[in-house]
Chains A and B, each alone.
Chain A
Amino acid sequence: MRISGAQIIVECLKEQGVDTVFGYPGGTILPLYDALHDSAIRHILTVHEQGAAHAADGYARASGRVGVCIATSGPGATNLVTGLAAAFMDSIPVVAITGQVPTSLIGRDAFQEVDITGITMPITKHNFLVKDPARLAETLRYAFRIAASGRPGPVLVDVPRDVQTAAVLFEPAGEPEKVPFAMSGAVLARIDAAAEAIARARQPVIIVGGGAVAAEASSEVAALAERLACPVVSTLMGLGAVPASHPLFLGLTGMHGHKPANNCIHDADLIIAVGSRFSDRVTGDRVKYAAGKTVVHIDVDPAEIDKNVAAGIGLTGDMKTILAFLGERTPSGDTEAWWEKIAAWQADYRSEPDSGRLTAPWLFTEISSQTAGADCIFATDVGQHQMWAAQHLKIETPRTWLTSGGLGAMGFGLPAAMGAQIAAPGKRVIHIAGDGGFKMTGAELYTVAARRLPVISVIVNNSGLGMIRQLQHAFFDKRYTACELPAVDFTAFAAAFGIGAATADTPQEFAAAFAAALASPGPRVIVANIAPEDLVTPMVPPGAAINAYLDI
């Protein structure tokens, strides 16, 4: 069958089971848009290509499937960059398809020409420029396989306009098979070594990261923790991998982690890391972090072993299998003395959020209690609100906590929430942003309104860039520069898109506004005004030991 390159792209998307793409048209990608016209694939037009990339990312995070975004050459492609980098840093499977100027014009600085494969080389798992139409189908299939397999990540396929219009022979292939991950004998031997080390440990802790979510290894992690009677802490990316309500779960670890969780890491004699790459925001001082401890590092990517923290024992491969093998080989743990110590920390650091005024910790506790038992997905932006949300929301299931962890991209929240809401129409997506990040991509409310997506946007409004203010407070002698933002009427902004909004200045007003939003079927914006002076605590300064809390 001879069809156009553009039709081949559509056919390949269908083969991969893609039903939704996020994009923005332009000159060099128009042949593909023409082919989409006749297809059943749903195209979500965003306001900006960055929104399309974040939405594809949010779609992937919420569903576990590959998210797809489309942009034209030049500015369309460059606008994807932040979104692809966010997906890359958090190992999220995304395929980006970009138009390119015709092959005859490449290298001639043609209108809307950029070398997008060159630009995105360091922020994609791999990328392709397809110059031969005959290789378009195999390239797209390969792109999806690269994006989803092993350690997932974004892949960009750049398709010149003439490749989209060329008529070429197309041979359909079925849906791709899932390939089981092979286990090498060397890993099995190291699993035994790990089991022995675990058996000797008196104060073990499991740190769970985003890799456990990607590997869908939640039940295996919980089973191992239960067998060892071992505390579990989570990185920002790992939230939801183990339910917040699990009795062994101590909460968030890292720069703004819960004190019992960080103390536990510091005092542990053995750390079992499951899908965590020991980011600097997790470890603080990398040397002090692992000093005197045995580190068992389980990851799909061999390059993560010994990259940031020297692992005594590195186990790479399929996480579910490794965890199951490890569980079979370890005796049930005796950690009573360890838990006495932990219980003392928990008692010392227990605090109820201030309910006398509207604060972020209080409102996230309130959101958690109002949404308990409901199917909700939380998508955050980046900054203080993100840390407060990570500390105080109770994330019970994987793929319901979507946050830009590695890149820390402000503006991620709203488009990611859109993508998640489209991936999971049966769930309610709650988007949480600060006023700064909301301004970056808030125009995507247009897309939310156009699609009637029932996203609830909670804007934690402290009239400023709170995390910047906090860093200037702590490290720049309270000299506040470029962090105080003049007031904006976000309710009027929402109204411009036809979205109802409420403002809350007190806990009572917030509770009522949030309950009303949950009860209403459509999109909703809630502006929660909090004090600009509020700081995220605890806080460990970057590069310090993970229990060296800053008194701010």
Chain B
Amino acid sequence: MKHVLSILVYNQPGVLVRVAGMFSRRGFNIHSLAVGTTQDPRYSRITVVVCGDNGILDQVVKQLDKLVEVEAIQLLPPDASVRRGIAMVKIAAGGDKRAEVLKLAEVFRANIVDISEQTATFEITGDDDKIDAFVDLLGPYGILEMVRTGLAGLARGTSNIHQYERREYYEQIVL
């Protein structure tokens, strides 16, 4: 089972290694990981998709919480969050196939970001299922190469990660 976790971390050198290292060291499986800055330059935010049952998820959250540079952790459940990733897919699309592929892209609301005589490169944004479906359908046309980001996500409504920021005593007591 896949779970999406959002992690607010101090924007410091090595913080990504610490987070990723914890996953590999303890044998947790990362499906995808995306990291970027936030509105506050002191923090970065990592969205990680982790595979495992609820027991594993519980351990992942607790072990993340022990990292000194982790400020807050929020679980993003599918029904209460928006999650998006981006994929770029380059296919062989010369000659008569081209019109067909363009139609397909339109259905998925994928953009063409590059086109040449023999190729077309699409950019698609969506959750994992949507991207998977698009990539599957493009398969028969011959995918030359593709690249995907990890998911990024936010909770719906007023819920936000800052509600999970460490209480004051964490400043003093470090587990």
Contact = CB atoms under 8 A, between A and B. Distances in A.
Given A146-B68, A306-B59, A307-B59, A300 B175 contact: yes
B172 A303 contact: no
Interface string A116-134: 0110011001100100000
B65 A181 contact: no
Given A146-B68, A302-B62, A303-B62, A181 B173 contact: yes
B174 A117 contact: no
Contacts, number: 51
B165 interface: no
B169 A122 contact: no
B68 to A, nearest CB: 4
Q: A-side binding surface: helix, strand, loop or mixed?
A: loop
Contacts of B59: 303, 306-307
B66 interface: yes
Contacts of B62: 302-303, 305
With most chain A CB atoms within 10 A of its CB, the pick from B18, B21, B167, B174 is: B174
Contact of A301 (B25, B58, B169, B175): B175
A179 interface: yes
A122 B55 contact: no
A121 B17 contact: yes
Interface residues of B, number: 20
Contacts of A118: 14, 17
A125 B21 CA distance: 13
Contacts of A179: 169, 172-173
Nearest to B60: A303
Contacts of B173: 149-150, 179, 181
Contacts of A129: 13-14
Judged by DSSP, the binding face of B is helix
Interface residues of A, number: 22
B37 interface: no
Nearest to B67: A126
B169 A126 contact: no
B21 A145 contact: no
B24 to A, nearest CB: 9
A300 B55 CA distance: 19
B29 interface: no
Given A121-B17, A122-B25, A145 B169 contact: no
A151 interface: yes
B14 A117 contact: yes
B111 interface: no
B63 interface: yes
B53 to A, nearest CB: 12
A51 to B, nearest CB: 27
Contacts of A122: 21, 25
A519 interface: no
- Give 3 closest A-B pairs by Cβ, nearest first: A303-B62, A150-B175, A179-B172
24 contacts: A118-B17, A121-B18, A121-B21, A122-B25, A129-B13, A145-B172, A146-B174, A149-B172, A149-B175, A150-B173, A150-B174, A179-B173, A181-B173, A300-B175, A301-B66, A302-B65, A303-B59, A303-B62, A303-B65, A303-B66, A303-B175, A305-B62, A306-B55, A306-B59
